[in-house]
Amino acid sequence: MKISRYIKDSPTLKFSELAKERNRRRERIISLGISEPAFDTPLPIIDATYDAIKKGYTKYSNSLGLIELRELIRDKLLKDNGINASIENIVVTPGAKQALYLALMALLEPYDEVINITPCYVSYIPQIKIAEPTAVIHNIDLKKDDFSLDWEKIENISNKKTKVIIINFPHNPTGRMLHKDEMDRLAGIIRDKSCYIISDEIYEKLNFSGLPHYSIAAFKDISERTVTVNGFSKAFSMTGWRIGYLTANKEVIKIVSKIQQHINTNTCTFVQKGACAAFSLSNGHVSSYNKELKDKASLMADIIESNHWLSLVPPMGGLFAFLNISRTGLSSDDFSFNLLSKKDVAVIPGVSFGEQWDDHVRISLVAGKDEFEDGIKRIDRFVREIKGI
């Protein structure tokens, strides 16, 4: 089949299948591979959804999304992100993942160049290739010492053919966020090169850095060339509900809405009603969850600090830490599979997120505190044992 020529199987899906298989055999596994928050979807969202079903929100909705939901998203974008969007510029989609794909479908034309920051979310590269098989992808690595953007490389590689830069902060898998001066510099590049930027802000609310989250679309002069993607999966633990959204200029929205009409018709109508209830929550659930994530990240840093073969750039947000295993001499695949078989701990090999990241593994901060601590201690012991200590 045509698609199989350029789309590889998702390596993290394969790996979690392996861990699930061991779970199915009732073998105790500590999964540090999980990519969804541990808390339940807040009850008011569930109640509002039940209510919507009973009240007949079971038919097609406006393809862009229910007006009342888009009004709430518009208000949120202005209040939280400084983005001045109208409801005509917002499309509700079945997940942020679908929003990303629709944006790529709308923007990419044959032989366009895309700057993709690596390590990256496993779906970016396949999505670019599905949206436009001839697209030229420039994968630009974050700097290994602090996961900051490599400005020189980005500036050197971007040219007239650069159609779009994709960013994701808070970042999966490193947990990095952008500081204000970095955001200014990035905005300068978009201005100079007149390209688009897709900003995936799905982890916006999972922020334990003490610093504000910045949205690139808040820069008025480049907001027209920005597609901001966000959703409900991470902030409201709604991964299975499949609801997200994007905001972009009118031209992009016109194409996105045409594709959406023919691919999805609309996002599930009663799920949209449920999502409306998310905006009346106090977000206290996220503050306490961020505290838990921060505590686990510090706990991990303390354990790792005394291990000469491992190093860590502490995460600032999101759900993950990206552990440097280069001094162990193992590839990320070997490290992960051996760790699973010898210590029953599942992590995700760094190579899943980019070719140059075979010297890292992604550790999810989602497991309960005791299980998490046990998992990190096992990683520490595993490395000491292979090094003969």
Contacts with ligand PLP by CB under 6 A: the residue count is 13
> Which residue from 107, 122, 171 is spatially nearest to 16, judged by alpha carbons?
122
* Min separation Cβ 163 and ligand PLP, Å: 20
In sequence order, what DSSP letters do the residues of 211-280 get, joined into one string?
Answer: S----GGGSGGGGGGEEEEEESTTTTT-TTT--EEEE--HHHHHHHHHHHHHHTSSS-HHHHHHHHHHTT
Query: Of the listed pieces 58-66, 89-97, 303-311, 366-374, which binds ligand PLP according to CB under 6 A?
Result: 89-97
Per-residue binding string, ligand PLP, 233-272, x by CB under 6 A, is x-----x----x----------------------------
* Min separation Cβ 151 and ligand PLP, Å: 22
- Cβ nearer to ligand PLP, comparing 348 with 383: 348
- Cβ nearer to ligand PLP, comparing 169 with 309: 169
Q: d(Cα 284, Cα 182) in Å, to the nearest integer? A: 29
User: Cis peptide before 314, with omega less than 30 degrees from 0?
Assistant: no
* Min separation Cβ 71 and ligand PLP, Å: 21
Per-residue binding string, ligand PLP, 104-143, x by CB under 6 A, is -----------------x----------------------
Residue 40 has which token pair? 């339940």
35 binds ligand PLP (CB under 6 A): yes
CB atoms within 10 A of CB 91: 27
Residues 151-190 that bind ligand PLP (CB under 6 A): 168, 172
Query: Of the listed pieces 93-101, 245-253, 347-355, 375-383, which binds ligand PLP according to CB under 6 A?
Result: 93-101
The gap from C-alpha 14 to its chain's centroid, in whole angstroms, comes to: 18
> Which residue from 316, 357, 288, 286 is spatially nearest to 142, judged by alpha carbons?
357
* Min separation Cβ 237 and ligand PLP, Å: 11
Q: d(Cα 176, Cα 315) in Å, to the nearest integer? A: 6
Contact, 197 vs 215, CB < 8 A?
Answer: no
- Cβ nearer to ligand PLP, comparing 97 with 296: 97
Helix ranges, the chain (H) = 11-24, 43-54, 67-81, 96-107, 124-131, 151-157, 180-193, 250-263, 269-278, 284-305, 332-343, 369-386
Taking CB under 6 A as the criterion, the residue among 70, 97, 294, 360 binding ligand PLP is 97
- Cβ nearer to ligand PLP, comparing 113 with 201: 201
* Min separation Cβ 120 and ligand PLP, Å: 8
**Beta bridge mates, 124:** none
Give the interface with ligand PLP as residue ranges (CB under 6 A). 35, 95-97, 121, 168, 172, 200, 202, 231, 233, 239, 244
